Structure 1
Amino acid sequence: MRKAYGPVYVNGEKVQVYVDGEKVQVYVDGSCTNNGNAANAQAGSGVVFGPGNWRNVAVRVPGEQTNNRGEAFAALQAILACDVHKHLEIFSDSEFVIRSLTHWLATRVSTGWGEAAQGDLFDDIVWLIRRRPAPVSLRKVKAHSGNAHDDGADALAKQGAA
């Protein structure tokens, strides 16, 4: 991701700026009932910072109602909820989100998000990441594998879609 987002410069010098290297881990997930049926679909996002954390959230997704939009919106919510001076590590079971923000990113940044699926959300995500002094890491987790945090994000995403 450093290649895509670039280093941080202060007075012309490259720096790493974040507090004590402290890392915040967050699990994100999206859900959509009747996915693929535009007339009846309802998408939600779930974000889990940890058991009982006040930042844990279940939200209904604005705009297009798809599972991928739910996944992307969850990542956006996680970034918005985290202190910009702390290293943010986002865990997602969405191959789409991970690839959109890594493998496909260089092309999207150079050509614009245009008609790309959820391009409006990814454009916002990239804008926020670029302005953070602390790094953001993405980690792929296996869905429905018994990981309590991922399962919690999944449950909140379903709640948000209800």
Structure 2
Amino acid sequence: MSDEAATAVEIWTDGGCKPNPGPGGWAAILRFNGHERELTGGDAATTNNRMELTAAAAALEALKRPCQVVLHTDSEYVRNGISRWVNGWVRNGWKTAAKEPVANYELWQRLLAAAKPHAVEWRWVRGHAGNPMNERADQLATAARDAAAKTRLPGST
């Protein structure tokens, strides 16, 4: 672990749906100075991208003071959105380059607000590739998704 990582809050996030769209779950694992905290949640009707965004936002919102953060995500959508696309979206009034409304803009706004007090390094990790913390986040998100699926009424969409 680098010196920077040793002084930073390390966060691993994951989110997903099955089917997509459908019941979804998200999870975040926060680690700092030998302490760990797990956060999870779900939605009976959502998308993979919404769950990925929710995981990152909820993790950052859980921090009680400004922090150095290394946030690990297996979502290229989240990583590219926050590090490459969002400034253009904001400049264009939350419109894409094609002048269409940005999908999930309210969650992007939530994520920006949650990240603002912190110095966040966004790290992409390959999903389902044996990274123990990513695998654990995936297991937690899957359990949250399964719990959300059980809250659906039979025959509902």
Equivalent AA in structure 1 for residue 93 of structure 2: G
Matched length: 134
Per-residue deviation, residues 22-72 of structure 1 (Å, max 9, x unmatched)? 300010000101114xxxx1011011125x95620221148x600111101
Inter-CA distance 67–53: structure 2 relative to 1 (3 Å threshold): farther
TM-score by structure 1 length?
0.75
Percent identity over the alignment?
Answer: 28
Equivalent AA in structure 2 for residue 120 of structure 1: E
**What stretches of structure 2 of length at least 5 have no aligned partner?**
1-5, 96-100, 147-157
Shift of residue 98 of structure 1?
0.5
Instruction: For 1:82 and 1:61, locate their aligned partners in 2 and report how far apart those are by CA, in whole Å.
Output: 23
**What stretches of structure 1 of length at least 5 have no aligned partner?**
1-20
Equivalent AA in structure 1 for residue 52 of structure 2: E
1:148 aligns with 2:129: no
Root-mean-square deviation over aligned CA pairs: 2.1
Q: Which has the higher helix share?
A: 2
Q: Return the match for 1:33 from 18, 28, 38.
A: 18
Inter-CA distance 27–106: structure 2 relative to 1 (3 Å threshold): same
Where do residues 1-162 of structure 1 align in structure 2 (5 Å cutoff)? Answer: 22-36=7-21, 41-50=22-31, 55-61=37-43, 65-113=46-94, 115-130=101-116, 132=117, 134-162=118-146
TM-score by structure 2 length?
0.77
Equivalent AA in structure 2 for residue 116 of structure 1: V
